[in-house]
Amino acid sequence: MKALLSRATIASLLLGTSMLASAADLPRTPAPEGAEVFIVSPKDGATVDKTFTVKFGVKKLDLEPIDKQVPNAGHHHLLVDQEVGALNANEAIPATPTSIHFGKAQTETELTLTPGKHTLQLVAGDNVHRQFEPTVASKVITVNVK
């Protein structure tokens, strides 16, 4: 049974890797004309508590959960202390503690950061977590955590 489970696990991993590789070969989803994402709050330069709420804004882009195949729709990704230019636009936006996915079409989150200066940037992703073509990203803001 252990061998079967191991083979099944390995097969699943290989299939998942294969699917991601295939997604990287596909052209990026065209961005809806005039699409924008932005951080509503906190404001650039704000001083915030260790745990604070980040509210996301969007224009001319429908927000939909990733499990829906809806034209002109996407979802938010929040980059903390990194910028969209550091990501490979042809690959899925990674899910990490500093690259947070909101695949259920959420429009805000509670964030806890260490004291000090941090940057935040929103990036819109399609239903396979890739950036649109062209990339739809907010300006980078800075927050000062108490």
Looking at per-residue pLDDT, the higher value among 12 and 34 belongs to: 34
Please tell me the distance from the alpha carbon of residue 78 to that of residue 56, in angstroms, as a whole number: 9
3-state helix, strand, coil in the chain (%, to 5): 20, 40, 45
Taking the CB of residue 49, how many other CB atoms lie within 10 A of it?
Answer: 11
* Residue 56: pLDDT over 60: yes
pLDDT digit string, tens, across residues 86-120: 999 999 999 999 999 999 999 999 999 999 999 99
Looking at per-residue pLDDT, the higher value among 136 and 11 belongs to: 136
- Residue 56: strand, helix, or coil: strand
pLDDT at position 136 is: 98
Selecting from 2.60.40.10, 1.20.120.1760, 2.40.30.10, 3.30.1360.30, what CATH number does the domain 36-145 have?
Answer: 2.60.40.10
93 within 8 A of 127, measured Cβ to Cβ: no
Question: pTM for this one?
Answer: 0.82
